[in-house]
């Protein structure tokens, strides 16, 4: 299974925010949309990623508030990216190695979507379920010695 297949099932909806917007606005957006990440866009280009991890780290033990910080202050400026032809196992390995729950998928400089670790887990589970059904059907219809 490739990343493009996971994106096709998930859909390519992108939730974005601008780097100059307040962190409070981004947090409200993430909560309202029930998402764990936002793609940071500026001038039609991806310039970073904002996840709940960056939000928590920015606010942890600091005098700063979500109202006083901008998205650009706390975003990841060079996020790890995936590409559509990447195999799901390679994607999982990359996500684990880089400790990234959300990866933008980029093809020839164009942002195709964002894949979460949950999206990958769902896709793998569905693929395994389908394979199990096919194997059970194959075994059930296996010719016996009497039929041969």
Q: Does 11 reside within a domain?
A: yes
Nearest alpha carbon to residue 38 among 120, 114, 99, 91? 114
Nearest 5°: CA angle at 101, between 33 and 125?
A: 90
Task: Give the whole-number percent of the chain exceeding pLDDT 90.
Answer: 58
Taking 90 as the threshold, does the pLDDT of residue 62 lie above it? no
Q: Which CATH number covers residue 24? A: 3.10.580.10
Q: Report, as an integer, the average pLDDT of 89-104.
A: 93
Q: Does 145 reside within a domain?
A: no
Taking 60 as the threshold, does the pLDDT of residue 96 lie above it? yes
pLDDT in tens, 63-85: 678 888 999 999 999 999 999 99
Decide: 55 and 71 in contact? Cβ < 8 Å.
no
Q: What is the pLDDT of residue 146?
A: 59
Confidence of residue 10 (pLDDT cuts 50, 70, 90): confident
The pTM (predicted TM-score) of the whole model is 0.79
Taking 60 as the threshold, does the pLDDT of residue 147 lie above it? no
Nearest 5°: CA angle at 131, between 130 and 134?
A: 90
Supply the range of the domain harboring residue 123: 3-140
Confidence of residue 122 (pLDDT cuts 50, 70, 90): confident
Tally of domains in the chain: 1
Q: Does 146 reside within a domain?
A: no
């Amino acid at each position: 299974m490739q990343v493009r297949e996971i994106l096709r099932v998930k859909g390519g909806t992108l939730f974005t925010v601008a780097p100059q917007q307040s962190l409070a606005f981004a947090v409200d957006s993430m909560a309202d949309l029930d998402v764990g990440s936002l793609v940071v866009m500026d001038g039609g280009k991806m310039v970073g990623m904002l996840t709940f991890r960056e939000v928590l780290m920015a606010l942890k033990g600091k005098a700063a508030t979500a109202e006083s910080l901008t998205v650009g202050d706390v975003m990841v400026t060079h996020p790890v990216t995936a590409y559509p032809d990447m195999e799901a196992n390679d994607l999982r390995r990359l996500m684990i190695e880089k400790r990234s729950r959300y990866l933008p998928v980029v093809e020839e400089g164009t942002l195709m979507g964002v894949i979460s670790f949950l999206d990958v887990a769902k896709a793998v589970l569905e693929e395994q379920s389908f394979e199990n059904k096919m194997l059970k059907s194959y075994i059930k219809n296996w010719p016996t010695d009497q039929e041969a």
